[in-house]
Amino acid sequence: MYYQLLGPPMTSSPSSYRGVYRSGPAYQEALPETAPVNLVWQQYVSKHGEKVAEEETALELARRFAEAGQSLDLVRIEQVSDSAPVSGEEGQLGFDVASHGWYSLLSWGLTWANSPQVAPHAKPLLALVEAYFRPRLNAHGLFSRWEDARFFLDVAKALAALAPGFWEAPGQEQFEVVRLTLVPSPQEMRPSGSAAALAR
């Protein structure tokens, strides 16, 4: 389990998508390297590798980015590929299916209509995948039910086995189910009380 600061979806994604494949905090080129927002960006990227282990530290980072005008979702991310978690947790955005915790198979909305990159022999299979799974996506472009995400992962793996490189370069198709839960912003919670969390 870890925490990430996530912004808008990528340009290729629907605007409603709130999974892992989103932009994060931005380095401000117009400001000096020593500007507070660039220092906190360096800490988030270099020290934490964009995956923060402690919630308190993540909240403090989110607060400092918000002070600099970067409004980001603070999201708890958990890998849940092996067993169904307890459902209905407050703030749950849904379940994504992603490679290395970043590139998501759900990020384009599970639609391949008029895609020139799809080989003709794959179109019937993808039409079947789209017809079955797309209606199961929630308002955030994610699966609400772990069982749907797990079944989609099994189908994605089967397609990769039948046609290596179908999703990613062979050897890179390491997908997993992750649950995303929105953590209330620092303004909605009690004051974090210290910047000491950042020293961890």
Please give the pLDDT value at position 122. Answer: 79
Q: Which pLDDT belongs to residue 112?
A: 76
Note the pLDDT tens digit of each residue in 79-111. 997 777 776 678 899 999 998 878 899 998 998
Retrieve residue 23's tokens. 């932009």
Are the beta carbons of 96 and 180 closer than 8 angstroms? yes
State pLDDT tens for residues 107-148.
Answer: 989 987 666 666 777 788 888 999 999 999 999 999 999 999
Q: In this structure, are residues 160 and 166 in contact, taking their beta carbons and an 8 Å threshold?
A: yes
What pLDDT was estimated at residue 113?
65
Q: pLDDT confidence of 165, banded at 50, 70, 90?
A: confident
pLDDT digits (tens, 9 = 90+) for 29-52: 999 999 999 999 999 999 999 999
In this model, does residue 194 exceed pLDDT 50? no
Q: How many domains does the chain have?
A: 1
The secondary structure element, H or E, covering residue 104 is: strand 103-104
145 and 135 in contact (C-beta within 8 Å)?
no
Rounded to 5 degrees, φ, ψ at 4 are -130, 155
Span 51-66, pLDDT tens digits:
999 999 999 999 999 9
Q: In this predicted structure, what is the pLDDT of residue 115?
A: 65
The answer to whether residues 107 and 13 touch, using CB atoms and an 8 Å cutoff, is yes
Residue 91 to residues 28, 68, 77, 119, 183: CA-CA distances in angstroms?
30, 25, 12, 39, 7
Across 121-143, b (16+ Cβ under 10 Å) vs e yields ebeebbeebeeebeebbbebbbb
**Two structure tokens written together for 198:** 């950042």
Residue 155 is encoded by which pair of tokens? 């189908």
Domain with 29 in it: 2-199
Q: What is the pTM of this model?
A: 0.86
